[in-house]
Amino acid sequence: MQLRADPLTVAAADTLGVTPNGDGVVVMPAERVLAAGAAFRETQNAALHALAEADLRKPDGGVDIGKLKELAPNLTSNGSLTELARDVVIVRDDRVIRTRESLGKELEPVFKVAYMTAGERVRENEEVAASIAKAQELERSAVQGQAQEADEKSLLVRNVDKALDKEIAEKAAKQEGREEKQEREIKAEEKAIPAPAVFRSGRTGKSMDMGQGIGF
């Protein structure tokens, strides 16, 4: 039987046991289509909701296999979806596509959210995940950039502090050198000043410092 199919199903046709037959169409044995239709009617809505987002490229469909096993044991085996489960997804997709087409183009935007194939939901989830990952990467980059900027500012401040310390030390050394030079010059000047002349009085025999004035 011919079924309308999502591009994801067509691409994985070989592993799903169906045959591509033109654009967006696959062929499935009639007995499998009937079995999938019966399973669709008998399966709980919670399990069908899980299968509505199944990624048929993955053995487990990318769904919570443990929960699906509790809801519909016949749809899982050894941690993977059974052929029946995959057929249910393909048959459901066929009904979704046909129903959406019957609504007309003007109503498609209104019902598109409710009538989505499993492949469409997979692609939507991948886009959301990619968008979140991109936002997180941008946030990490921003944080790293801010941290790097803070480090650069801190390094600049440290370099400025070091430069100031060096400048202060150099000024202090120069000041100390000037003070030492001035002290040496003062001492040299003091040494250059002649000592006061001393005369001995011939009349009294006493010495007299000429710096003290005349005192015979």
Query: SS3 sequence, the chain?
Result: CEEECCHHHHHCHHHHCCEECCCCEEECCHHHHHHHHHHHHHCCHHHHHHHCCCCCCCCCCCCCHHHHHHHCHHHEECCEECHHHHHHHHHHHHHHHHHHHHHCCCCHHHHCCCCCCHHHHHHHHHHHHHHHHHHHHHHHHHHHHHHHHHHHHHHHHHHHHHHHHHHHHHHHHHHHHHHHHHHHHHHHHHHHCCCCCEEECCCCCCEEEHHHCCCC
**Residue 136: predicted pLDDT:** 80
Number of other residues whose CB lies within 10 A of the CB of residue 204: 9
Mean pLDDT of 126-144: 82
pLDDT in tens, 100-111: 888 877 777 777
pLDDT band at 6 (very low <50, low <70, confident <90, very high): very high
- Tens digits of per-residue pLDDT, 145-163? 787 888 778 877 787 778 8
C-alpha angle 171-173-176 in degrees, rounded to nearest 5 = 110
- Between CA 175 and CA 36 the distance in angstroms is 98
Q: How far apart are alpha carbons 55 and 45 in whole angstroms?
A: 18
